[in-house]
Structures are given as structure tokens and as C-alpha cells.
Structure 1
Amino acid sequence: MTVITTLGLFIITAIAEIVGCYLPYLWLKKGASAWVLLPAAISLALFAWLLTLHPTAAGNEK
């Protein structure tokens, strides 16, 4: 993986985690609709999948 690809993967992974954690916060603390939990769950599932693509986190560093 090139440095640019790795950096992009880290950025996308970070965004997925932040969105997945921020939306339930909106529901719990700010009174947002419970419907925000659906995209939150999707975002956290995307985050978990993206973690498997990280070469160093998965022990695939060459």
C-alpha cells in the first residue's frame, strides 16, 4: 500500500468511527430522532470492516 492509500484509509476509518459515535450522542443527549441510530449502526459496521483493511492493524505488514 502506498502512503497516500494508507492515509486515505485511516481518514475514512476515523470519519466512520466519529459519525458512528456522534449520532447516538445526538439521540441520547440532544433529543434527536431514534432514526439516527440506523446510520450510526451502519457507520460503525463500516468502521469495523475498514479496520480489517488496515495492513498494520491486521498484522499484514510486509
Structure 2
Amino acid sequence: MSALVFIGAAVAEIAGCFSFWAWLRLDRSPWWIVPGIGSLCLFAYLLTLVDANHAGRAYAAYGGIYIATALLWLWLAEGARPDRWDVAGACVCLIGAAIILWGPRG
């Protein structure tokens, strides 16, 4: 369940941040930030649903999912295919996220 929440949070965060990118860097209408703000609020809410004992641990594990999702966004939304170094880096991050999230705690 945590993985799905993390993926949803990552998509919401990237979409929200992209709305500001579109407005400020791609000369889109300032109205782009309205759904962006809603998306960023959804992102923050979704992270509260993760089953973790501490917020910092949830955020750290989320980082790996965010990186992999950002590369998918790069490919699907922006049309730039990630290279092998992007994929390798994302794999390392996902392994790190899994260790943080599911590692045995004493």
C-alpha cells in the first residue's frame, strides 16, 4: 500500500511543481498554478497516509520513488527518454528506499 501512496504523492508533487515550471519557464498562463496548488496539497496529504513510525523516514523512503517517477514524467510528459545513467541512478534510489522503508527495526 505504501508504494501506491508514494507513487500517487510523486505524481501529485511533480504535476504541482510542473505547473509553476510551465508558468515561469514555458510562458504559460498564471492560471496554471491553480491546479498546481491543489496538486501540491494532495501530495502533502498523501504522504500522511504512509505507514511509517516517523515522518522523516517516510520522506526519505519517498525520495527514491519520487526520483523514479520524475524520470517517468521526463519520458511520458516531456518526451525525453531517460538514459542508462538515469535508470541506474533510479534503481539505486529505489533500493535505498526499500531498505529505509522495510528494513528490520530493533
Verify same fold: TM over 0.5.
yes
- Shift >6 Å, 4+ stretches: none
**Number of residue-to-residue matches in the alignment:** 55
Q: Which has the larger radius of gyration?
A: 2
Alignment partner of 1:42 out of 25, 32, 38? 38
Q: Where does structure 1 lack aligned partners over 5 or more consecutive residues?
A: none
1:13 and 1:45 mapped to 2: Cα distance?
10
Percentage of pairs with the same residue = 42
Cα RMSD between the aligned structures? 1.4
The 2-side partners of 1:32 and 1:54 are apart by: 34
With normalisation by structure 2, the TM-score equals 0.48
1:6 Cα offset (Å) = 1.6
Q: Which has the higher contact order (CA 8 A, sep 6+)?
A: 1
Unaligned runs of 5+ in 2: 58-106
Taking structure 1 as the reference length, the TM-score comes to 0.79
Give the equivalent residue in structure 2 for 1:16.
12
The answer on 1:6 being equivalent to 2:2 is: yes
